[in-house]
């Protein structure tokens, strides 16, 4: 039985956390085919991959989490709830909560208990495309007092989240004022195309809470005086595109606003803000734009443009709904959404900016790690995660802020890992500026020489300094960070490689003696 309505307020109700694979489709089909009287609602992913597929069974203020469900198990669960019983046997968690809550009831233990759920609160709980499930839409209030909105956001001190945000780690309100005052008709772009394989937050929000993202975008539209919003998502993410389309239709009806959905290439560079604009304009070759002027003055088709990530917009909505939870005295108030990845698992959690990244390790069953890469593809390598999850601390530690923590054990060679990131920079850059285009080629060449017996630390550091200071966009400025941080924390591995020894034992004798494509370039 398929029920096309929201999940909030129903009791009893079965929620199936969906994703784009056959396992989830089979579980959802089994639930719908079995239910006779209880609504079955397809909700979005929770954000913890290791426990999927997840089925949540709710009745009278209690919810039972059933994880790694098969279709057979799902049919049994639905039959029991249809008979008036809350099936708690074999449940991973059982949580008591308010019957009309709009936030996922969080267990006291386990991966889902890590951090807090603010922007992530709707994920896995509300019907993704049903505005009524989300409660009050803050964009309705914003249209009535856009000036007051800018003052409120300025007082909160909110910063942009993610490399795809034109206000990446910078205050939001001042840019909105520039967009409003620039010549031309303003537009808001939701940059949801984040192909970084280690950063899942934007895709998770587009799949699980698209109405929250659009509510934030329409709030920004009110602040800058824009009449339309464009959502830019990854062309390979069919579920996100489908749900954004449906949510846009629903929220159009609710707010009388114009929302368009567009897709972009599944390429890392296409997530950079100005390259996202080039993609939206249909450019044959996607290249970074020189700034200034920035998008707030000359953006999409020359219009003043506010371009933000789903992470930024979801947090904006959360802050305006619950301003008391944000400490405006902090330099980076609010939360930071982080995806933790190891060889077997990945989980997306939301951390207070005052808490340590070490907290995120509770989300995956990780054993001791040798090193971590913090900040996504071009993040920084580190031995420890004892760093607060705020922009200032991460920047001071030369770690990235793109919302990812990748864990590597002692079998992984740091030199090889750094070499792979350098090769990716060489292959994936847009080619617009010399420091990034030529610098990444030279960086790969210098790392090859380490395998030939020559480790020239001075030349590598001078090259990376030039790339960092003179590249046109964030891609080039961050591309060398994996190499420099690997050298800072694990220089003994570089010197050992130069003498023909891989301390991790990952690189073979043959690889250590002949500048390996498979190590530095794969």
Domain assignment of residue 367, yes or no? no
- Res 5: pLDDT: 65
For 329-367, give the DSSP string: TSSS-SEEEEEEE-SS-EEEEEEETTSBGGGGGGGTT--
pLDDT, one tens digit per residue, over 325-358 is 777 667 899 999 999 998 888 999 999 999 999 9
pLDDT, one tens digit per residue, over 5-53 is 678 877 899 999 987 778 889 999 999 999 999 999 999 999 998 899 9
pLDDT band at 252 (very low <50, low <70, confident <90, very high): confident
Same domain, 39 and 152: no
**To the nearest 5 percent, what fractions of the chain are helix, strand and coil?**
45, 15, 40
Q: What percent of the chain has pLDDT over 70?
A: 95
SS3 58: strand
Residue with tokens 């114009």: 258
Same domain, 185 and 68: no
Q: What is the mean pLDDT of residues 430-457?
A: 95
pLDDT band at 517 (very low <50, low <70, confident <90, very high): very low
Domain assignment of residue 379, yes or no? no
Same domain, 154 and 290: yes
Q: What is the mean pLDDT of residues 317-326?
A: 88
Same domain, 161 and 224: yes
Tell me the C-alpha distance between 102 and 435, whole Å: 48
For 380-438, give the DSSP string: EEES---SBSSHHHHHHTT---SSEEEEE-TTS-HHHHHHHHHHHHHHHS-S-SHHHHH
What CATH number does residue 469 fall under? 1.20.1440.230
pLDDT band at 254 (very low <50, low <70, confident <90, very high): low
Domain assignment of residue 246, yes or no? yes
pLDDT band at 110 (very low <50, low <70, confident <90, very high): confident
513 to each of 416, 427, 456, how far by Cα in Å? 14, 24, 17
Domain assignment of residue 5, yes or no? no
- Res 198: pLDDT: 78
- Res 2: pLDDT: 40
Look at the alpha carbons of 154, 159, 160, 161 in this order and tell me if their dihedral is positive or negative. Answer: negative
Please count the CA atoms within 13 angstroms of the CA of 74 that sit on its side-chain side: 28
- Res 413: pLDDT: 95
Please state, as a whole number, how many other Cβ atoms lie within 10 Å of the Cβ of residue 60: 9
Domain assignment of residue 368, yes or no? no
pLDDT at 173 over 60: yes
Residue with tokens 């303003």: 186
Tell me the C-alpha distance between 395 and 61, whole Å: 43
pLDDT at 175 over 60: yes
Same domain, 137 and 83: no
Q: Residues for the chain: how many in total? A: 522
Please, what's the b/e burial string for 110-125 (b: 16 or more CB within 10 A of its CB; e: otherwise)?
bbbebbbbbbbbbbbb
pLDDT band at 398 (very low <50, low <70, confident <90, very high): very high
- Res 521: pLDDT: 43
- Res 266: pLDDT: 94
Same domain, 198 and 318: yes
Domain assignment of residue 521, yes or no? no
Last residue of a domain, one of 113, 147, 162: 113
Same domain, 65 and 163: no
Range of the domain at 475: 414-511
Lowest mean pLDDT among 8-12, 172-176, 399-403: 8-12
Highest mean pLDDT among 135-144, 246-255, 471-480: 471-480
pLDDT at 73 over 80: yes
- Res 509: pLDDT: 56
Same domain, 280 and 147: yes
SS3 35: coil
Please answer whether residues 162 and 202 qualify as being in contact, where contact means their C-beta atoms are separated by less than 8 angstroms: yes
Per the structure block, which two tokens stand in for 147? 């000036």
More confident residue, 150 or 1: 150
Domain count, the chain: 3
pLDDT at 3 over 50: no
């Amino acid at each position: 039985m398929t029920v096309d309505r929201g999940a909030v307020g129903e009791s009893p109700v079965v929620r199936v956390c969906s994703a784009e694979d056959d396992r989830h489709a089979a579980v959802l089909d089994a639930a719908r085919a079995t239910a006779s009287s209880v609504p079955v609602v397809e909700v979005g992913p929770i954000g913890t991959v290791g426990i999927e597929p997840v089925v949540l069974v709710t009745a009278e203020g209690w919810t039972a989490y059933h994880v790694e469900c098969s279709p057979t198990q799902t049919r049994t669960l639905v039959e029991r709830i249809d008979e008036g019983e809350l099936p708690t046997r074999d449940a991973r968690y059982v949580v008591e909560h308010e019957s009309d809550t709009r936030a996922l009831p969080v267990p006291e233990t386990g991966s889902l208990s890590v951090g807090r759920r603010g922007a992530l609160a709707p994920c896995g709980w509300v019907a993704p495309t049903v505005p009524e499930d989300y409660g009050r839409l803050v964009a309705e209030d914003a249209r009535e007092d856009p000036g007051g909105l800018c003052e409120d956001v300025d007082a909160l001190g909110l910063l942009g989240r993610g490399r795809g945000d034109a206000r990446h780690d910078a205050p939001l309100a001042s840019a909105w004022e520039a967009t409003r005052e620039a010549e031309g008709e303003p537009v808001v772009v939701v940059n949801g195309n984040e192909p970084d394989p280690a950063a899942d937050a934007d895709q998770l929000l587009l799949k699980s809470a698209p109405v929250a993202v659009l509510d934030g975008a329409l709030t920004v539209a009110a602040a800058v005086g824009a009449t339309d919003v464009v959502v830019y998502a990854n062309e390979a993410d069919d579920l996100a595109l489908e749900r954004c389309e449906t949510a846009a239709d629903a929220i159009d009806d609710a707010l009388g606003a114009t929302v368009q959905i567009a897709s972009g290439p599944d390429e890392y560079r296409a997530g950079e803000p100005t390259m996202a604009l080039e993609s939206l304009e249909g450019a044959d070759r996607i290249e970074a734009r020189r700034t200034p002027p920035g998008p707030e003055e000359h953006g999409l088709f020359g219009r003043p443009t506010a371009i933000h990530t789903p992470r930024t917009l979801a947090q904006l909505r959360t802050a305006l709904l619950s301003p008391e939870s944000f400490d405006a005295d902090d330099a980076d108030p609010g939360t930071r959404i982080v995806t933790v990845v190891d060889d077997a698992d990945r989980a997306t959690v939301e951390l207070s900016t005052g808490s340590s990244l070490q907290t995120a390790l509770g989300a995956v069953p990780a054993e001791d790690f040798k090193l971590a890469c913090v900040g996504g593809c071009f993040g920084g390598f580190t031995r420890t995660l004892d760093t607060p999850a705020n922009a200032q601390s991460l920047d001071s530690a030369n770690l990235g802020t793109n919302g990812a923590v990748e864990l590597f054990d002692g079998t992984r060679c740091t030199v090889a890992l750094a070499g792979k990131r350098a090769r990716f920079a060489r292959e994936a850059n847009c080619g617009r500026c010399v420091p990034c285009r030529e610098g990444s080629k030279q960086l790969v060449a210098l790392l090859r020489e380490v395998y030939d017996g020559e480790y020239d630390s001075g030349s590598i550091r001078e090259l990376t300094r030039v790339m960092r200071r003179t590249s046109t966009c964030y891609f080039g400025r961050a591309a060398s960070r994996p190499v420099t941080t690997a050298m800072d924390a694990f220089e003994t591995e570089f010197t050992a490689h130069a003498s023909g020894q891989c301390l991790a034992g990952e690189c073979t004798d043959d690889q250590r003696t002949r500048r390996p494509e498979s190590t530095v370039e794969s």
